[in-house]
Amino acid sequence: MGGALAVRQSLRLGMVAGERSGDLLAAAVLRGLRSSVGQLHACGVGGPAMREQGFDAWEDIERLSVMGYAAVFKRLPGLLALRARLARRLPNVLGDGVFVGIDAPDFNLGLEERLRRSGVRTVHFVSPSIWAWRRERIEVIRRAVDHMLLVFPFEQAIYDRAGISASYVGHPLADLLHPVDDPGPARARLGLDADPSVAVLALLPGSRQEEVRHLAGLFIDTALALYRSRPGLAFVLPAATPLIHQQIRALLAARRLPDRFPLTLVSGQSHLAMAAADAVLVASGTATLEAALIGRAMVIAYRMGALNYRLMRNRGYLPWIGLPNILANETLVPEFIQDAATPDRLARALFEWLDDAAGRERLRARFRDLGDTLRRNCAEQSAAAILEVARR
What band does 208 get if pLDDT is binned at 50, 70 and 90?
A: confident
Range of the domain at 59: 8-170+376-390
Q: What would the mean pLDDT of 202-224 be, rounded to a whole number?
A: 93
Q: What would the mean pLDDT of 258-279 be, rounded to a whole number?
A: 95
Identify the pLDDT of residue 15.
97
What band does 1 get if pLDDT is binned at 50, 70 and 90?
A: very low
Residue 123 sits in the same domain as residue 222: no
Residue 218 sits in the same domain as residue 162: no
Instruction: List the CATH number of the domain containing 82.
Output: 3.40.50.2000
Is residue 119, in this structure, part of any structural domain at all? yes
Residue 93 sits in the same domain as residue 224: no
Is residue 219, in this structure, part of any structural domain at all? yes
Mean pLDDT of the chain: 90
What band does 336 get if pLDDT is binned at 50, 70 and 90?
A: very high
Is residue 386, in this structure, part of any structural domain at all? yes
Q: Is the pLDDT of residue 3 over 70?
A: no
Q: What would the mean pLDDT of 161-183 be, rounded to a whole number?
A: 94
Residue 288 sits in the same domain as residue 248: yes
The total number of structural domains in the chain stands at 2
Residue 145 sits in the same domain as residue 72: yes
What is the percent of the chain with per-residue pLDDT over 90, rounded to a whole number?
70
Is residue 40, in this structure, part of any structural domain at all? yes
Identify the pLDDT of residue 71.
53
Is residue 126, in this structure, part of any structural domain at all? yes
Identify the pLDDT of residue 13.
96
Is residue 215, in this structure, part of any structural domain at all? yes
Residue 59 sits in the same domain as residue 146: yes
pTM of the predicted model over 0.85:
no
What band does 313 get if pLDDT is binned at 50, 70 and 90?
A: low
pLDDT tens-digit series, residues 10-48: 899 999 998 777 888 899 899 989 888 889 999 999 999
Is residue 1, in this structure, part of any structural domain at all? no
Residue 224 sits in the same domain as residue 184: yes
Residue 155 sits in the same domain as residue 245: no
Identify the pLDDT of residue 53.
94
Q: What would the mean pLDDT of 283-292 be, rounded to a whole number?
A: 93
Residue 148 sits in the same domain as residue 29: yes
Is residue 193, in this structure, part of any structural domain at all? yes
Identify the pLDDT of residue 2.
45
Identify the pLDDT of residue 312.
60
Residue 224 sits in the same domain as residue 317: yes
Separation between Cα atoms, residue 372 and residue 374, nearest integer Å: 6
Q: What would the mean pLDDT of 196-224 be, rounded to a whole number?
A: 93
Separation between Cα atoms, residue 316 and residue 314, nearest integer Å: 6
Identify the pLDDT of residue 308.
63
Q: What would the mean pLDDT of 295-320 be, rounded to a whole number?
A: 75
Residue 244 sits in the same domain as residue 338: yes
Identify the pLDDT of residue 8.
67
What band does 327 get if pLDDT is binned at 50, 70 and 90?
A: very high
Q: What would the mean pLDDT of 350-363 be, rounded to a whole number?
A: 97
Residue 157 sits in the same domain as residue 223: no
